Amino acid sequence: MTTTTNTRSTDNGIDLSRLVETIEAIGDDPSLATFTFRARSTWQDGTYNVGHIGTFTHAGAEDESRAASFVLHGDEPPVLLGANKGPNAVELLLQGLAFCYAVGYVANAAAKGIEITRMEYEIEGDFDVRAFLGLEGARPGLSRVRATGRVSSPNATPEQLEELCRYVQDTSPVRDSLANPVEIETTLEVV
């Protein structure tokens, strides 16, 4: 911990004083912790869809910080009847896990005064397409996911970095959303 001091407010690019303020504010008023995130998709042709991710609700109010929606393209590879215009839906889940782990790791490292100089994740997910195609023999979704992180730090021991990895797993929003059941309500409007 020789490279950090108490007067430093930003670590790993995380605004540490703002992080502490956020935790204190939510501790005082838990309603500040609530978010409703959104994504839309518009079907184009075949397996190709265009997605938009824009505003979200935070503590009951719309967040307007984004100048425009993020645009994502989703498609399947030819072996799954698509044209590779974008990654497929299952791959997006894996990408989400990678991003979630990385944000959790660098933010919690910052809170502990651990400097991160390299942080990569490789995620693999095993999937069987039979249920999607109406065939018996496998669950519809991912059967198993393997995540490998690679981290470098000049001021933490391997044991500290491994302990942080376990903590990040326990508090990761995406890991929890995949590892434990999420209630999903689906409705259809015929227009």
Q: How far apart are CA 92 and CA 102, in angstroms?
A: 15
When binding is defined by CB under 8 A, the residue of 3, 29, 124, 154 that contacts a second copy is: 124
Q: How far apart are CA 185 and CA 65, in angstroms?
A: 28
DSSP 20: H
Considering the rule CB under 8 A, would residue 8 count as an interface residue with a second copy? no
Considering the rule CB under 8 A, would residue 103 count as an interface residue with a second copy? yes
Contact 102, 121 (CB under 8 A): yes
CA distances from 183 to 158, 178, 180, 186 (A): 37, 12, 10, 10
Considering the rule CB under 8 A, would residue 112 count as an interface residue with a second copy? no
We find the least distance from the C-beta atom of residue 5 to a second copy, in angstroms, to be 19
Considering the rule CB under 8 A, would residue 115 count as an interface residue with a second copy? no
We find the least distance from the C-beta atom of residue 6 to a second copy, in angstroms, to be 19
Q: Which of positions 56-75 make contact with a second copy (CB under 8 A)?
A: 56, 58, 63, 65-67, 70, 72, 74
Please give the distance of CA 129 from its chain centroid, rounded to a whole number: 24
When binding is defined by CB under 8 A, the residue of 8, 29, 30, 62 that contacts a second copy is: 30
